[in-house]
Amino acid sequence: MTDFSYRNALIVGAGTGISASLARRLAALDVKIGLAARNVGKLDALAAETRATTFAVDASEASAVAELFDEVDKRLGEPDLVIYNASARAHGPIANLDPAAVQKAIAITAFGGFLVTQQAAKRMVPRGRGAILLTGATASVKGFALSSAFAMGKFALRGLAQSAARELGSKGIHVAHLVIDGGVRSARHSDPADRPDSTLDPDAIAETYIDVLRQHRSAWSLEVEVRPWVEDF
C-alpha cells in the first residue's frame, strides 16, 4: 500500500456522519484537518477529538468560499485534499415546491461544490498535485419522483466531477465522485435488529474514501459507488 500523501485536508459541509468518520480517519493518519460548515457550533466535539480547525462558511457564496480558503491557507496551510459533503434538498411534488428552496438546494448541493472545487484547483494546479472528493448519492444517477431538487443538485455535482476529472487529472489532481447508495447509519437511522448492516456505516464509507486517496496515479478511480449488502437497487 502506498503511503498516505495528503497533509492538509479541508472538509466542507462537515457534519456528524461521513465527515466525522473521515475526520477521525484522517486524524489517525496525522493529517491536519479543517472542518467547514454553516454552523460550526455542532462541530466542537469533533474538532476537539480530531485536533481540527473549524471554519464557518456558506458554501454557496463565492466570496465566502474564497475567504474560507484564504483562512485555511493561513491557519492550516494550503489544503492538498478537499472534500465536499454539503447538500440540501426540497421534497415534494414539482408543482408544490418553493422555487427558493429548489434554488437553494441546487446552490448548496452543486454550485457550492463548484466554488470549492475552483478554490482547490487554484491551489493544486500550480503544485501539480492534490485530491478533490465530491460526495454523491443515489440521486446522482437516478432522478426519483418527488425529489427533483435533490436530483438536480446531485446530477449537477456528478457533471462537475466528470468535467473536473477530465481537466485536472493530467495536472496531477485526483478528482473522485463517491456515490453513497443507501441510508447512512446515524442516531436517528439505525439498523433493524433483523437487518444488520442494512445502513451504511459512515466509518466503512470513510474507509473507501481513504482507499481512493491512496490509489496510485496510474490507476485512479473517478466514480465509486457504495451500498449496503442488502440494499435493493
Q: Is 64 in the site for its own copies (CB under 8 A)?
A: no
Which H helix or E strand runs over 161? helix 148-168
Restricted to residues 92-121, the positions that interact with its own copies (CB under 8 A) are 93-95, 97, 99-100, 102-103, 106-107, 110-111, 114-115, 117-118, 121
Which H helix or E strand runs over 170? none
Closer residue to its own copies (CB): 6 or 54: 6
Candidate ranges 31-39, 45-53, 69-77, 194-202; the one touching its own copies (CB under 8 A):
194-202
Please report how close the Cβ of residue 99 comes to its own copies at its closest, in angstroms: 4
Q: Is 30 in the site for its own copies (CB under 8 A)?
A: no
Candidate ranges 38-46, 49-57, 72-80, 139-147; the one touching its own copies (CB under 8 A):
139-147
DSSP output for 27-60 = HHTT-EEEEEES--GGGHHHHHHHT-EEEE--TT
Task: Report which DSSP code applies to 183.
Answer: P
Restricted to residues 119-138, the positions that interact with its own copies (CB under 8 A) are 121-122, 125
Q: Is 8 in the site for its own copies (CB under 8 A)?
A: no
Candidate ranges 4-12, 32-40, 49-57, 152-160; the one touching its own copies (CB under 8 A):
152-160
**Of the candidates 113, 97, 109, 187, which has an alpha carbon nearest to the alpha carbon of residue 147?**
97
Please report how close the Cβ of residue 138 comes to its own copies at its closest, in angstroms: 11
Q: Is 20 in the site for its own copies (CB under 8 A)?
A: no
Q: What 3-state DSSP class applies to 70?
A: helix
Q: Is 208 in the site for its own copies (CB under 8 A)?
A: yes
The count of residues interacting with its own copies (CB under 8 A) is 84
Q: Check if the beta carbon of residue 63 is closer than 8 Å to that of residue 124.
A: no
Q: In what order do the strands lie in the sheet with 130-137?
A: 53-56, 32-37, 8-12, 81-84, 130-137, 173-180
Q: Check if the beta carbon of residue 10 is closer than 8 Å to that of residue 83.
A: yes
Restricted to residues 65-94, the positions that interact with its own copies (CB under 8 A) are 93-94
